Structure 1
Amino acid sequence: MVNFEQEVLMRSQEVPVVVDFWAPWCGPCQTLGPIIEELAKEAAGKWELVKVNSDEQQEVSAQYKIRSIPAVKMFYMGEVKAEFTGALPKHQIQQWLKEHLPDEFGDQLSVYVDMLFTEQHEKAVQNLEGFLELNPEHIEAQLWLAAATVGTHPERAEISLPESHQFHALSGYVKDIADLMKCNEKSGEKMQLYIANARQALKNYQYELLIQELISATLLDKNYCNELPRRAAVALFLMLGTQHEITKKYRRQFDMALY
């Protein structure tokens, strides 16, 4: 019998714990078991596996609403962070682990991201570039570097992610801003001026001027280049966050420009 409180909830305060709910009579459980056990060995302590016999521990199974098995749940800091049911193939479980395991570099990356839209922008870019030299496959860092340098390197925004990926939305925001540097749709002189000014502001990290030009372009022609000014402005607001001074100052003005 598994001491769930100690082996899962308490242990997950230190390291992610993946719980495999199974039963001896369950055919798919016999398929999944060896695969997930092998992955746990390969993890070498990055996460731990606990197998819970759902017949023997019905109270635990009921508490976590196990209605069919095999059922796999990832616990971290005492909470369920991710889950799946059924006997998935090894490569799908590996992808699930990759997407949901806590990021050991998350705190470090958050510091760099917080610096991006401040006067420390150039230092943040240098830090992100250094971070990616050590962690070249880190998707979130790739996306934030793309966001930070989209004015000079719009090609960095071409990161394709499935809709289910946790950073799919961020990828879309970066691409919307990158479109600002690539759209060549013909327009009147005023629109050309707004877009040119917006591009220059983006290259110079002048985000307040950038949003001003995007609002002006939205007022002039909402449909320009597949609603480019609107898409780029929304993406910028979302990346800046609701508490950034630019968002607070210009979001209402932008919303009014849409109607």
Structure 2
Amino acid sequence: MQPSFPATPAPKPTVPGDIIKDGSDATFMADVIEASRTVPVLVDFWATWCGPCKQLGPALEKVVTAAKGAVRLVKIDTDKNPMVAGQLRIQSIPAVYAFYQGRPVDGFVGALPESQLKQFVDRLLQATGAAAPGGDDIATVLEEAKQILDQGDAEGAAAVYNEVLQAEPENAVAYVGLVRCLLAVGQTDDARKLIEGAPAAIAKSPELAGLKSQLDLADQARQAGPVPELMNRLARDPDDHQTRYDLALALYAAGKAEAAVEALLEIVKRDRDWNEQAARKQLLKFFEAFGPTDKLTVMARRKLSSILFS
């Protein structure tokens, strides 16, 4: 399948409020997750008491404004809106996360000088295909490829992603999309090779890390054993943490992610230090595989925090 590159439509006028805005926990889904499906969105986590935040803010706004709508900026006061910052495990501010296609793809901590901020934005736009010549066309083709994959045509989607990568070898969206295509048709070995051989500009992509975690979990799950047998063993001894741990992996392999999470949470509740906190560490792998904004990740993190700090 050869991708079509439609003519770029005339740009729509954009008012400053569309490019830079104050966000909140309540508006995060609309301002960041949904908006990032069409354009990269930077999220600046700051607070009024933070000196470096006051240095970073104006410089970041200047660089985003200069991009003329190719990227947007959402500023979130962590004191007033702690939920999203907590979910992303932000421990120091200022912290800036870049979102694209609904997921975090890059970020940094601390007040960078304007020159480095411009490099960061340029790198982001290049990686997402939003700034290269014909960038609007590339973004349209990538969205078409995603739709093709969602409809079950992994081979067709892979052809489109390969075309994009021939033009832009470090396009992170196309690279990750190609890995997803391989996974969709069960070519896990090829998918793992692609992940391990990712270019440096793509290798640190959170989405790519999530796919690697999915592969690692699948490998673990194959050794866990059948679900009915594990459930019978656990019924005879509810404190058999190893069996409950194996059950969590088997449930994950069976597509029962929520039940798998609950099994691991139960281990943490009964004995958080069992096997050097293996259950908590496995939960973190699940979170990486699901993605930081996934509903199950958010719910499970909340429950885990409640258990650990109760």
TM-score bracket for this pair, using the shorter chain length: 0.3 to 0.5
Whichever of the two has the greater Rg, that structure is 1
Tell me the TM-score normalised to structure 1 length: 0.43
Tell me the TM-score normalised to structure 2 length: 0.36
